[in-house]
Amino acid sequence: MRRNHIHFAAGMLGDEGVISGMRKTCDLFVHVDVEMAIADGIIFYRSANNVILTDGRDGFLEPKYFKKVVDRRGEVVFPKSG
């Protein structure tokens, strides 16, 4: 199966209104700087079931738009501190 968009959840598992878009087996959570991405011309859509979608650029969302990446234990793995 080929997806047409990059899929995001509107929040973390357990957050109010987060009913779709995130699998319970996720190992990493990427927090996106949506404002920066939009300012650079990236378009985001919200589906009827509250999944956030984007085409990105050429099918990718560059890491420069990542605010942080957190593992399932809550440890920040990007950006590295120190």
- pTM as predicted: 0.80
Q: What are phi and psi of 44, to 5 degrees?
A: -115, 150
37 is a domain residue = yes
pLDDT of residue 50: 82
Q: Which amino acid is at 61?
A: L
Residue 66 inside a domain? The answer is no
pLDDT at 2 over 90: no
- Per-residue pLDDT at 22: 66
Report the distance separating Cα 18 and Cα 66, nearest Å: 20
Asked if the structure places residue 82 within a domain, the reply is no
Overall domain count for the chain: 1
Output the pLDDT for position 78: 94
Q: Is 49 part of a structural domain of the chain?
A: yes
With respect to residue 61, please indicate whether it lies within any of the assigned structural domains. no
Note the pLDDT tens digit of each residue in 9-65.
887 777 776 766 567 788 899 999 999 999 999 999 998 888 899 999 999 999 999
Neighbours of 2 (CB within 10 A): 3
Range of the domain at 44: 1-16+26-55
For residue 35, is it within any domain?
A: yes
Asked if the structure places residue 36 within a domain, the reply is yes
34 lies in some domain:
yes
pLDDT for 25 equals 83
